[in-house]
Chains A and B, each alone.
Chain A
Amino acid sequence: MVSQEERELHVLAVDDSPVDRALISKLLRSSKFRVTSVDSAQRALELLDLESNVNMIFTDYSMPEMTGYDLLKRVKGSSELKKIPVVIMSSENVPNRICSCLEEGAEDFLIKPVRRDDVSRLCNRVLRC
């Protein structure tokens, strides 16, 4: 019998801002995702190493030490992780940055503040839920 936890899609939210982490977690939970949130790309990689059931990653772009773009490259460069859709979020609308992320395989690039409609749209498109 499949548990509720197993039925729920699992999203990893990565953001060094506690405010933005709380907001994106709430948005995702409102869309019925199970959410794990971490405050750095490094912690995200550690978690991805331990957990095999992450269905999607939402990550901030600008983070100290390792950016969301760096995380994206690590995920897409890994044979175990590359199929996980990655969405980048940023408060800055920088065309070069957006292009680089999309070329590197990001599913989408959202300008903060992220809205409920953004999450629903992505959910429908990427995970067919």
Chain B
Amino acid sequence: MDVSMLQRTYSDLLTSLFREGILNQQFTELQQLQDENNPGFVFEVVSLFFEDSGRLINELISNFNQQAVDYKKIDAYVHQLKGSSASIGAEKIRSVCQTFREYYDKNDIQGCYNCIQPLNQEFVTFKSKLEALFTLEQQIVAAGGSIPMMRH
């Protein structure tokens, strides 16, 4: 694929991520922080998110499968996940975390439980799409092109 085709594919993918509500404006803020001193900043922060959130979600699922569920611990995990997803612009993940906390505040345990599978699914989708985006970035740079910037 030539550079212009790669750049078009990249722009289309990024546009769709915003249109589908997977990303929000905060992701653009991250991109604007990236500079020649730290050209891999977005990739580094999102990679940290993948690692940290993957761990938190595994802890959540594991805790819900215990006989005696520690809901306070689960809420703490979701709070962390909500915070970090908001920080990188992972809007759908943030939104499911928000819903979970609303159920938690109402002591609606079934509501909390019903959020776990969607949360995991949103994380898997987010990870897959962002990995595709970063792969395209690497291909564009390897082909001598520059990464298109989105304007909102």
Q: Do A and B interact with each other, yes or no? A: yes
Q: Which of chain A's residues has its CB closest to B26's CB?
A: A113
CA distance A45 to B25 in the complex (A): 35
A116 within 8 Å of B by Cβ?
yes
Docked CA distance A17–B26 (Å): 17
The reply to whether B84 and A19 contact each other, CB–CB distance below 8 Å, is: yes
A87 part of interface (Cβ distance < 8 Å): no
A120 within 8 A of B: no
Interface residues of A (CB under 8 A from B): 16-20, 22-23, 26-27, 30, 62, 64, 91, 112-113, 115-116
Q: Which residues of A contact B51 (CB under 8 A)?
A: 18
Count the B residues whose beta carbon is within 8 Å of the partner chain — how many?
Answer: 23
Interface centre among A19, A20, A112 (most CB of B within 10 A): A19
Contact of A23 (CB < 8 Å), options: B32, B35, B80, B87: B87
Contact with A along B23-43 (1 / 0, CB 8 A): 000100110110100100100
Q: Is B48 a contact partner of A112 (Cβ separation < 8 A)?
A: no
In the complex, A19→B30 CA distance in Å? 12
Which of B26, B41, B83 has the most chain A CB within a 10 Å cutoff?
A: B83
When the two chains form their complex, are residues B33 and A112 in contact, meaning their CB atoms are under 8 A apart?
no
Whole-angstrom distance between the Cβ of B50 and the nearest chain A Cβ: 10
Chain B residues with CB below 8 A from A30, complex form: 33, 35
B79-95: CB near A (< 8 Å → 1, else 0) gives: 11011101110000000
In Å, the complex CA distance between A41 and B28 comes to 30
